[in-house]
Amino acid sequence: MATVIFNQLSLAPLGAGDLIDRAVRLYRHHFITLIGISAPPVLISTLGSVLWTIGWREFMATGNEVSLAIYVTMLIVGGTLLLTGTLLNLIVMAGATRNLVTHLLWNEPVSARTTYRNVRARFWGLLGASILVGMWVAFSAVLAFFGWMMIFYIMAIGAILFAFVTSWLSAIVGFVGLLVSLVGGLWFFFFLIKRFVYVPQVMLVEGKGVFEAFSRSSALARGNVRRLMGMFLFTTFASWAALMILIIPLGWYGYLNGIDPSPFNATSWPAWYAIGYSVVSQLSSILLAPIWTLGLSLLYVDERVRHEGYDIELMAARVLGEMPLRAGAQETASYIPALVTTGETQSKPSTNRPGAYGSMLNLR
């Protein structure tokens, strides 16, 4: 019996392909719930996007001072709602992280109510962490962009020099240079941000404060650049696919009404088409945001399995109950329960029936 339980709980280290596969399978199993969880912040962003689109189009065209003031206000309100929706999306997806881990640990149902209860319990901490992580991501993106430019220019100079020898060799060098610069820029970007990708998971699963979570995430994130890049590329291509599925009907309708649907001619679009394009672009993120959250949550569990024997810890928590923190003792990794339960984030196993939990990742 013990062997059967261990086989159910064991977790093999995840490669990029395994990570994407399990994230997609979990997403498929909980599709409606995850869409409901991600919808409210995206709707706020969508409203902001609509106000920004209208305000920007009319701001560039109007000459009336009263109208100008109205459209500037719309730009400010729209930009604020866009930023608010983006931050709320990060916070809500962080709240879904704990719900996912309780699902893996105790087979707790994934629900919007539980997710938003988790968010409410740590809202201000998650807000501060999201702002700090967002600032670091933006800074890393700027550094990675300059790194990409440097590599690209060096390879471009090489291509120009080879052009004096033969044109086809110059084309090959230019193409290889473009690929090398893109891969190098992406690798450098994820190398910079990798240490802080587990901050929400650490805060909600381990009960850490904001700055403790940054330190703990940095300690956990080792050797995950390739897997993060794989998740990013998959999510990017999936986002474009979802966007195209939604945009193509709108584009065909606009084309039949004499509109050029190319984004390069966006300035010539009528207001209704520009607003529709903006709404569709925002709504497509409802479909893909949960996959990134699932992938990062699985990565977090995988890092603890690789470095701390988290699968054994989870097995003990299931069979023997939750390990209490020692009163007055310093909280080190050795004394942190598999899932810290404090205040409103407390959860309990929904059933004690033998075999009720299924497999560790609930994918069987």
pLDDT of residue 361: 39
Stretch 29-56: mean pLDDT:
87
Average pLDDT over residues 208-218: 86
Q: Is residue 182 part of a domain?
A: yes
Structural domain contains residue 166: yes
The arithmetic mean of pLDDT across residues 122-139, rounded, is 89
Q: Is residue 146 part of a domain?
A: yes
Q: Which domain holds residue 209?
A: 131-221
Mean pLDDT for the stretch of residues 54-75 = 81
- In the chain, % of residues over pLDDT 70: 77
What pLDDT is attached to residue 322?
55
Average pLDDT of the chain is 76
For the ranges 157-161, 298-302, 344-348, the one whose mean pLDDT is highest: 298-302
Looking at residue 323, what is its pLDDT? Answer: 54
pLDDT in tens, 79-114: 999 889 888 888 888 788 888 877 776 777 888 888
Amino acid identity for residue 73 in this structure: T
Q: Specify if 252 maps to a domain.
A: no
Comparing 304-313, 325-334, 350-359, the range with the smallest average pLDDT is 350-359
Check: pTM over 0.85? Answer yes or no.
no
Domain tally for the chain?
1
In a domain, 165, yes or no: yes
Quote the pLDDT of residue 351: 43
**Predicted local distance difference test score (pLDDT) of residue 362:** 38
Q: Is residue 311 part of a domain?
A: no
Lowest mean pLDDT among 51-55, 64-68, 177-181, 356-360: 356-360
Angle of helix 65-106 versus helix 271-308 axis, rounded to 10: 30
Q: Residue 342: its pLDDT value, please? A: 53
Residue 337 pLDDT greater than 50, yes or no = yes
The arithmetic mean of pLDDT across residues 4-12, rounded, is 40
Q: If pLDDT is split at 50, 70 and 90, which confidence band does 3 have?
A: very low
pLDDT of residue 331: 46
In a domain, 179, yes or no: yes
pLDDT higher than 50, residue 356: no
pLDDT for 360: 40
pLDDT band (50, 70, 90) for residue 339: low
Does pLDDT of 77 surpass 90?
Answer: yes
Average the pLDDT over 57-84 and give the result: 84
Quick: pLDDT tens for 177-204: 788 888 888 888 888 888 888 888 888 8
Is residue 75 in a domain?
no
**Between these two residues, 345 and 237, which has the higher pLDDT value?**
237
pLDDT digits (tens, 9 = 90+) for 231-277: 778 877 777 777 778 788 888 888 888 888 887 777 778 888 888 88
Looking at per-residue pLDDT, the higher value among 280 and 310 belongs to 280
Tens digits of residue pLDDT in 11-23: 556 666 777 788 8
